[in-house]
Amino acid sequence: MGITTQIIGLILSLSILVIVHEFGHYCFARIFKTRVEKFYMFFNPGFSILRAKKFDGKWHFSFFSTKSPEEFEQHPENTEWGIGWLPLGGYCSISGMVDETTKPGELPAEPQPWEFRSKPAWQRLFIIIGGVLVNFITALILYVAILFTWGDEFIPIDNAKYGLYFSETALNEGFQNGDKILTVDGVSYEKLGDLATALLVNGAQRVEVLRDGNKDTVYLSDDFAQKVLASGNQAFCQFDFPFIIDSVLDGSVAEKFDLKKGDSLVAINDTALPSFFAFRSSLAEHAGKQVDLALYRGHQPDTFLVQLGEDGMLGVAPVSYIELLGTKKVEYGFWSSIPNGIEKGFQKLVDYVKSFKLVFTKEGASQLGGFGTIGSIFPKVWNWEIFWNMTAFLSIILAFMNFLPIPALDGGYILFILVEMITRRKPSDKFIGYANTVGFVLLIILLVYANGMDVVRAFR
């Protein structure tokens, strides 16, 4: 059920964002009296699930058709609305616009007043920018709505009373499990996510930590972010907490050997393991073996001789670190949520643009992912707050990626129009057609590569 929930979340989120993006193009096209031939959610190669067009004062529908009905073709001035069967995006087909699906020779010899190509350059620029603009505005609106509805709840770094647990990459840089991070390049942070952004995105290198009651400094290497990417574990640190049993599964190893709710596990074979993560790793190392588990039941120490299964699992659920550490929640009223939501949206964009440089490193390229990677960021148990947060962030990504000056993307058209406005010479439809074809092929190659990396990682 968990993976199904993630798939549903991914498809629903992308569907919303594609509709919003294409609606931005549609609105500006209609403002400048440009015909929109088709507006589709999902692609429709071969056939469409639904086609709809309004003419003669009423709506007309066609289901599971391979082409537009003849009566639809008799009213080219009206937009055909549809739903395709391939949930990989959608499109807004604007009359007189050369894209990757339209060849210059397919357009009428003479530009018509209602066509995109006959409009002034500044109007065409707004029509193209419309998709990116509306995507970004949508993200800002979502962040405002999220803050107003749920506020902002997080675990303050100061609450890390058990310290932090670091990845192997971070340990190699000089961190030690149990360290508490005080400042990064002299700046203190309240949220762990902001701290990670400072280190991985902004390139901060001097980290002051509290270690065994004393202050110490860790100096990170210049390529720390690349090392984290190469490791495949981008959560280079997380809140540490003790292993306290919250529940015992029926028929589990823990039930068989009489482990109970509330037991605090502290050692295996006389090796002290105060951290949940260290304890879990040690269990995996002793899979299939008999071990002495030291624990506290109440305030009394005890030891149990336990035969672990081949999976090295006890069959228990630990007490959540959120419950052990506690959270801070900031509430926002209607008016205060607006500037804070807008500020959050702009900060997300700035951080993403800064992090984009990592894509051009060998380590960053190896971590590119497709729909599987995107889907994995959605929770396996439905949560509306997380869903809308992910949708807002994906809307920012979609806006930025479409703004890149690559033919077949909005940014490619924007580049051509800006060149035209500067040089006073419009690129030929033939040139734009060839450029879009090349851009489209490159995007397909990138799409295949990214989704191929998902497959490779899945098999690994």
Domain ranges across the chain: 1-116, 157-239, 243-318
Closest alpha carbon to 430 in 106, 113, 114: 106
| Helices 410-423, 384-403: inter-axial angle, 10-degree rounding | 40
> Architecture of 157-239 per CATH?
Roll (2.30)
Q: Are the C-beta atoms of residues 260 and 398 closer than 8 Å to each other?
A: no
Reduced to 3 DSSP states, what percent helix, strand and coil does the chain have, rounded to the nearest 5?
A: 45, 20, 30
Asked if 387 contacts 9 with a C-beta cutoff of 8 angstroms, the reply is yes
Q: Can you tell me the mean pLDDT for 243-247?
A: 91
Task: Return the closest-CA partner of residue 277 out of 242, 315, 303, 245.
Answer: 242
Structure confidence at residue 448 (pLDDT): 75
**3-class state of residue 368 by DSSP:** coil
The amino acid at 50: L
**CATH number for the domain running over 243-318:** 2.30.42.10
For residue 336, the model assigns a pLDDT of 95
Residue type, 226: Q
Question: What is the reported pLDDT for 214?
Answer: 92
d(CA 373, CA 167): 21
Instruction: Report, as an integer, the average pLDDT of 277-285.
Output: 90
Give 5's pLDDT tier (boundaries 50, 70, 90): confident
This prediction has a pTM of 0.86
Query: Which residues lie across from 41 on neighbouring strands?
Result: 83, 90
CB 49 within 8 A of CB 83: yes
Single-letter residue type at 30? R
Q: How many CA atoms lie less than 13 Å away from 186 in the CB half-sphere?
A: 0
Q: Mean pLDDT of all residues in the chain?
A: 87
Whether 157-239 shares its CATH topology with 243-318 is answered yes
Retrieve residue 344's tokens. 């959050």
Q: Which residues contact 314 (CB under 8 A, 6 or more apart)?
A: 252, 253, 254, 259, 283, 306, 308
DSSP element (H, E) containing 429? helix 429-459
Q: What's the pLDDT at 229?
A: 81
Q: What is the pLDDT of residue 313?
A: 86
Contact 114, 34 (CB under 8 A): yes
Strands, E assignment, 15-83: 36-43, 48-55, 58-65, 80-83
Cβ proximity of 268 and 292 under 8 Å: yes
pLDDT per position as a tens digit, 119-167: 999 999 999 999 999 999 999 999 999 999 999 999 999 999 999 999 8
Read off the tokens for 348. 């997300």
Residue 149's pLDDT is what? Answer: 95
